[in-house]
């Protein structure tokens, strides 16, 4: 597996994290440098760790996670998305609040968007690949794209401020449903 293939895998794996980061950027109220980096750090770390876990777990772990990964991602994204919608509706008349980068929330989102990376790691265990180089590329790619997503969302936020949290929650739920449908319908 060459560098180009690993970069393409990194880009593919980071698309969910990019979408979530874009939604987060919509709800950032104050432009602080750290607010742009937090999602990238979480998502990049999880996207790098999951293939590493998958690589070392190999095929033994695949039989336990492959039939549940879509349900876990769906549940986590739906839970966070529903909470964002409820918070958005409750706070619609109030001043729009800053996105909550709590440790638990960020870990749940990171886990939900990186479960597919576990399967990629399992797949990588069947090929000759320097797993540490691969996870570095995947992590950096996800960090860069997630940070770009937050910045892009922030750039749009002044026009979309009122419904940003509701929109972001809806996108997360749709993303969860998409993952579920892919695994239940397409991959059968």
* pLDDT tens per residue, range 69-79: 677 667 766 77
User: Among residues of the chain, what percentage have pLDDT more than 70?
Assistant: 73
Distance CA 76, CA 61 (A): 21
pLDDT at 85 over 60: yes
Range of the domain at 175: 3-186
Closest by CA to 165, choosing from 112, 76, 119, 97, is 97
The pLDDT tens digits of the residues spanning 119-137 come to 788 778 777 789 999 999 9
Taking alpha carbons only, the member of 147, 113, 136, 138 closest to residue 17 is: 113
**Taking 70 as the threshold, does the pLDDT of residue 97 lie above it?**
no
Return d(Cα 157, Cα 31) in angstroms, integer.
11
- Average pLDDT in the chain: 78
Is the pLDDT assigned to residue 92 strictly greater than 60?
Answer: no
pLDDT for 95: 45
- Name the CA dihedral angle for 105, 108, 113, 114, rounded to a multiple of 10 degrees: 130
Higher pLDDT, 46 or 3: 46
Q: Which of 21, 17, 26, 18 is nearest to 165 (CA)?
A: 26
Residue 48, SS3? helix
User: What pLDDT, on a 0 to 100 scale, did the predictor assign at position 55?
Assistant: 87
- Mean pLDDT calculated for residue range 164-187: 74
Smallest Cα–Cα separation from 47: which of 150, 143, 164?
143
Give the pair of three-digit tokens for residue 176: 């969860």
**Number of structural domains in the chain:** 1
Using a 10 angstrom Cβ sphere, with 0-12 exposed, 13-18 middle and 19 or more buried, the burial of residue 186 is exposed
Question: pTM score > 0.85 for this model?
Answer: no
pLDDT, tens only, 15-50: 888 888 888 887 777 677 887 899 999 999 999 999
Question: Half-sphere exposure (CA, 13 Å, Cβ side) for 74?
Answer: 13
pLDDT reading at 96 higher than 70: no
Is the CB of residue 2 less than 8 Å from the CB of residue 99? Answer: no
pLDDT digits over 100-113, tens only?
678 888 998 888 88
Share of the chain above pLDDT 90, in %: 19
SS3 annotation, 59-116: HHHHHHHCCCHHHHHHHHHHHHHHHHHHHHHHCCCCCCCCCCCCHHHHHHHHHHHHHH
Query: Could you tell me which residue, 12 or 140, shows the higher pLDDT?
Result: 140
């Amino acid at each position: 597996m060459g560098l180009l293939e690993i970069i393409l895998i990194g880009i593919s794996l980071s698309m969910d994290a990019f979408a979530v980061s874009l939604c987060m950027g919509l709800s950032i109220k104050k432009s602080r440098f750290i607010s742009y980096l937090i999602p990238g750090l979480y998502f990049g770390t999880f996207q790098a760790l999951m293939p590493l876990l998958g690589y070392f777990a190999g095929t033994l772990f695949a039989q336990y996670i492959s039939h549940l990964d879509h349900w876990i991602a769906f549940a986590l994204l739906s839970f966070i998305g529903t909470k964002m919608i409820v918070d958005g509706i409750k706070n619609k008349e109030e001043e729009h609040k800053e996105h909550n980068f709590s440790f638990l929330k960020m870990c749940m989102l990171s886990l939900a968007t990186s479960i597919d990376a576990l399967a990629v790691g399992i797949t990588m265990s069947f090929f000759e690949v320097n797993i540490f180089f691969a996870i570095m590329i995947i992590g950096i790619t996800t960090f860069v794209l997630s940070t770009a997503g937050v910045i892009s969302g922030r750039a749009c936020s002044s026009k979309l401020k009122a419904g940003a949290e509701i929109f972001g929650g809806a996108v997360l739920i749709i993303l969860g449903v998409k993952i579920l449908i892919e695994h239940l319908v397409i991959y059968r």
